[in-house]
């Protein structure tokens, strides 16, 4: 019998790819497709999905590339025989913090698209006042971040209000810099979307509201008062921070925030109905950030952690406690009012591990980008590089890019050796040790900073779930498991793309919830089965090992502080 019944799409517009995943009402994934920006759309000339202007510390992506990626993705789906007529709901996940600047023609263009032409031909450049979107790796906004922290009396108070201290990539400081550097383009802007609400807008045929969780990545939304923060909006709107006309204009450009993550924003635009065969009643559900979407890929228990090994590396937890600190991020939960998402985000995640992989290969005379040597080195190097009980512990910090956690402006590679409480910068060591040390270092940072969220009597996560491109790497999983522990173990979420899956589940929940009272957890939890979706890859807590990492916390913190304060020499290359 031919497959039938409703289907829900989740899209993920992340740094390097646009992905789509389709699920049925029983949560079965029936289709996946992706477009890689570097490989499939080479004419834009991006590398790893972005342009970098090193002189000004800018990182940005062309909006037209994302639109062409959507045209191509839909064409690929059609070529593979995907039945668009079954799609009853669409939601999405977007790389966080990026902003899209729509022109005054945007609404009319979006609502009158002709099926004779592609989205790209009709929208770009006409519908935009600025053809680029600042990327989350951008770090050009130091002055603006300082102004944001100052505006409310320091980064503690900014974190209390918005869930995060001031960050370069956050949209508020980015908007302020845009206002200062590109006043004409800003004046020509009718609306500003996040990457997530931009994606929803394309499907909706009008500008979609910003999502209640993704809005927390802007340094503009007050989580405590559940509304835009007037002090911060007026700062982002004009450098003086006191121009009421500019403030009013920015409020209009940002629009309302949609409080319900499962809201039906309206039916899909007629363009998609006529051109691709979507049903006219297909519901468009708010898209959220890729990280909030990832926590929707499974029913997450309290004390569970998700480690996302994508371009960025992030650790995510869901919590009832609003426990803000400038050391990490708190977001509104994407579907459940009263819950929050805890997050740490490392810029030097996947790409930094790739640099070490290439250096390890180079030392062995290997010129390809295979992971075998990196993996061998990571598992064969003893804990903290200690070859005997008397050997010094080796702790490294690998920041080919300026880092977010900790806030380090100067790229570099820093190696330390610790003997009890005594920490000294190392003269250097074999690059093979770096393979283990980079993962240990990232995991120790996560362990130390997530401690306030965990039960003090049980200071390990219950389970650690790995997602993202790097989650297929067992050596990385082993080192993460050694450092983080995990009472029930470390699991790989074997679901294709977790953020796209979370988005597809969100669309399903939004359309099939019995009433607005049926929670995401209840609906997805009642249909979810671990079978085929979750694979235990490591046992987690290992007595002695977890404690050995505990012994080095003080030295790690001391060494990290030296790097952050610019007191460490470091190296500019790995070998
Ligand atoms: N076998 C592997 N081992 C380690 N890392 C890997 C492996 N395969 C892919 N990756 C990493 O996955 C990253 C891409 O992950 P993905 O989740 O698709 O990224 P994004 O969502 O940011 O576009 C790459 O940058 C690469 O570092
Ligand atoms: O900046 C952050 C989170 O604060 C990043 O996690 C982005 O959201 C990009 O994610 P990926 O493309 O790596 O998935």
Whether the CB of 473 sits within 6 Å of ligand 1: yes
- CB of residue 314 inside a 6 A radius of ligand 1: no
CA of residue 95 to ligand 2 center, whole Å: 5
Query: Which of 488, 491, 484 is closest to 466 using CA atoms?
Result: 491
Task: Please compute the mean of the pLDDT values over residues 40-53 and round it to a whole number.
Answer: 98
Looking at the CA of residue 312, tell me the nearest atom of ligand 1: 22
Question: Which tokens go with 218?
Answer: 């802007």
- What's the rounded mean pLDDT across residues 37-48? 98
Distance (Å) from CA 152 to ligand 2 centroid: 26
Write the CB contacts of 302 (distance below 8 Å, at least 6 apart in sequence). 318, 319, 320, 462
Measured from the Cα of 343, ligand 2's closest atom is 4
2: confidence class by pLDDT, cuts 50, 70, 90: low
H or E element, residue 187: helix 183-187
CA 422 to chain centre: 36
Higher pLDDT, 4 or 209: 209
DSSP 484-549: H--SSEEEEE-SS-HHHHHHHHHHHHHHH-SSTTS-HHHHHHHH---TTTEEEEE----TTHHHHH
Question: Which of 294, 401, 298, 398 lies closest to 343, judged by CA?
Answer: 294
pTM of the model: 0.94
> And the tokens for 421?
């409480």
Which residue(s) pair with 489 in the sheet?
463
pLDDT in tens, 498-545: 999 999 999 999 999 988 789 999 999 999 999 989 999 999 999 999
Reported ipTM: the value is: 0.96
Identify whether the C-beta of residue 504 lies closer than 8 Å to the C-beta of residue 20.
no
410 to 173, 561, 564, 569: CA distances (angstroms): 20, 14, 9, 11
Q: Which ligand 1 atom sits nearest the alpha carbon of residue 353?
A: 27
Decide: 349 in ligand 1 pocket, CB within 6 A: no
Query: pLDDT tier at 105 (50, 70, 90 boundaries)?
Result: very high
Question: 328 C-alpha to center of ligand 2: Å?
Answer: 14
Number of CB atoms found within 10 A of residue 426's CB: 18
Q: Relative to the alpha carbon of 372, which ligand is closest?
A: 1
Closest-CA residue, ligand 1 atom 19, reads: 310
Rounded to whole angstroms, how far apart are CA atoms 32 and 80? 10
Q: What is the pLDDT of residues 162-208, one digit of tens each?
A: 999 999 999 999 999 999 999 999 999 999 999 999 999 999 999 99
pLDDT tens digits, one per residue of 306-333: 999 988 899 999 999 899 999 899 999 9
Which atom belonging to ligand 1 lies closest to the Cα atom of 49?
23
| Secondary structure class of 398 (helix, strand, coil) | strand
Q: Which ligand is nearest to the CA of 293?
A: 2
Give the ligand whose atoms come closest to the C-alpha of residue 168. 2
Contact between 22 and 8 (Cβ < 8 Å):
yes
* CA 213, chain centre distance (Å): 12
Q: What is the pLDDT of residues 216-257, one digit of tens each?
A: 999 999 999 999 999 999 999 999 999 999 999 999 999 999
Confidence at residue 418, expressed as pLDDT on a 0 to 100 scale = 97
Averaged over 542-568, what is the pLDDT?
96
CA nearest ligand 2 atom 9, residue: 95
Q: Is the CB of 474 under 6 A from ligand 1?
A: no
17 pocket-lining for ligand 1 (C-beta < 6 Å): yes
Average pLDDT over residues 262-279: 98
391-427 pLDDT, tens digit each: 999 999 999 999 999 999 889 999 999 998 799 999 9
β-pair partners for 228: 221
- For residue 517, the model assigns a pLDDT of 82
Ligand closest in space to the Cα of 467: 1
pLDDT category at 575 given cuts 50, 70, 90 is confident
Q: Examine the pLDDT at 1 and tell me if it is beyond 60.
A: no
Structure confidence by residue, pLDDT tens digits, 365-377: 999 999 999 999 9
pLDDT in tens, 107-130: 999 999 999 999 999 999 999 999
Nearest C-alpha neighbor of 486 from the set 330, 228, 242, 303: 303
Average pLDDT, the chain: 96
Q: What is the pLDDT of residues 296-308, one digit of tens each?
A: 999 999 899 999 9
Centre of ligand 2 from the C-alpha of residue 136, in Å: 7
Q: Are 8 and 504 in contact (CB under 8 A)?
A: yes
Residue 72, pLDDT above cutoff 90: yes
Which residues form ligand 2's pocket by a CB distance below 6 Å? Answer: 14-15, 95-97, 136, 169, 217, 289-291, 310-312, 314, 345
Q: Which phi-psi region, left, alpha or beta, contains residue 154 (left: φ > 0; alpha: ψ -120 to 50)?
A: left
Q: Which atom of ligand 2 is nearest to the CA of 310?
A: 13
Determine the pLDDT at residue 4. 87
């Amino acid at each position: 019998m031919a497959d039938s019944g409703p289907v829900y799409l989740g899209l993920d517009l992340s740094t390097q790819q646009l992905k789509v995943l389709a699920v049925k009402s029983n949560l079965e994934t029936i289709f996946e497709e992706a477009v890689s920006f570097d490989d499939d759309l080479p004419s834009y000339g991006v590398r790893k999905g972005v342009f970098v202007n090193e002189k000004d510390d800018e990182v940005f992506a062309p909006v037209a590339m994302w639109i062409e990626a959507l045209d191509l993705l839909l064409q690929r789906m059609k070529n593979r025989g995907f039945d668009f007529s079954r799609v009853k709901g669409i939601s999405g996940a977007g790389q966080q913090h990026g902003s899209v600047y729509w022109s005054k023609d945007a609404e009319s263009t979006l609502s009158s698209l002709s099926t004779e032409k592609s989205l790209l031909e009709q929208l770009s450049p006409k519908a935009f006042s600025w053809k680029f979107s600042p990327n989350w790796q951008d770090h050009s906004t130091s002055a603006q971040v300082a102004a944001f922290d100052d505006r409310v009396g320091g980064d503690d108070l900014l974190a209390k209000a918005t869930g995060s201290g001031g960050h370069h990539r956050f949209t508020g400081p980015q908007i302020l810099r845009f206002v200062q550097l590109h006043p004409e383009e800003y004046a020509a802007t009718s609306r500003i979307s996040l990457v997530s609400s931009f994606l929803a807008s394309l499907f909706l045929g009008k500008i979609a509201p910003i999502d209640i969780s993704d809005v927390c990545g802007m340094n503009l939304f007050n989580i405590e008062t559940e509304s835009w923060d007037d002090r911060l909006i007026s700062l982002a709107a004009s450098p003086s921070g006191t121009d009421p006309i500019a403030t009013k204009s920015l409020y209009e450009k940002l629009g309302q925030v949609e409080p319900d993550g499962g809201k039906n924003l309206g039916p899909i635009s007629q363009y998609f109905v006529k051109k691709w065969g979507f049903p006219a009643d297909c519901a468009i559900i708010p898209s959220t950030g890729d990280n909030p979407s990832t926590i929707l890929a499974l029913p997450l228990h309290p004390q569970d952690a998700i480690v996302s090994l994508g371009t960025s590396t992030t650790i995510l937890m869901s919590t009832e406690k609003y426990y803000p600190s400038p050391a990490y991020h708190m977001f509104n939960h994407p579907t459940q009012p009263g819950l929050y998402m805890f997050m740490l985000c490392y810029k030097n995640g996947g790409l930094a591990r790739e640099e070490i992989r290439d250096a390890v290969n180079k030392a062995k005379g290997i010129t390809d980008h295979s992971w075998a040597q990196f993996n061998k080195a990571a598992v064969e190097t003893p804990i903290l590089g200690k070859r005997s009980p008397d050997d010094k512990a080796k702790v490294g910090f690998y920041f080919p890019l300026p880092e977010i956690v900790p806030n380090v402006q100067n790229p570099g590679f820093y190696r330390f050796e610790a003997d009890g409480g005594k920490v000294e910068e190392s003269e250097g060591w074999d690059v093979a040790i770096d393979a283990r040390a980079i993962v240990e270092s990232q995991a120790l940072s996560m362990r130390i900073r997530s401690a306030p969220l965990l039960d003090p009597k049980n200071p390990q996560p219950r389970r650690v779930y790995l997602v993202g491109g790097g989650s297929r790497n067992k050596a990385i999983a082993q080192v993460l498991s050694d450092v983080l522990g995990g009472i029930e173990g470390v699991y790989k979420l074997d679901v294709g793309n977790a953020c796209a899956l979370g988005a597809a589940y969100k669309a399903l929940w939004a359309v099939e919830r019995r009433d607005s009272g049926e929670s995401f957890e209840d609906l997805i939890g009642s249909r979810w089965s671990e079978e085929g979706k979750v694979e235990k890859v490591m046992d987690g807590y290992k007595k002695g090992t977890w404690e050995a990492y505990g012994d080095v916390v003080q030295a790690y913190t001391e060494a990290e502080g030296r790097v952050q304060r610019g007191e460490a020499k470091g190296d500019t290359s790995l070998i």
